[in-house]
Amino acid sequence: MRSHLRALRTERGWSQQQLGDMLEVSRQSVNAIETGRYDPSLPLAFRIAELFGLAIEQVFISPSAAD
């Protein structure tokens, strides 16, 4: 699944470590989500969206919509 996570994070000047700390996940998890190697669980995806004050659809791109 693709996401806008990297752009959202960098717009706020947050490092992957800082974002991971806020979400209570590792920096490696943030990196894997940003690079599309890991799809977050639904609860984590909602926490990410809430942290940025966005709807989940504004952060994550549905695989069917990415075509």
Burial of 13 (0-12, 13-18, 19+ CB in 10 A): exposed
pLDDT single digits (tens) 7-46: 999 999 999 999 999 999 999 999 999 999 999 999 999 9
Q: Domains, the chain, ranges and CATH? A: 2-61 (1.10.260.40)
pLDDT at 44: 98
pTM of the model: 0.89
pLDDT for position 67? 54
Chain centroid offset of residue 32 CA: 9
Residue 5 in contact with residue 66, Cβ under 8 Å?
A: no
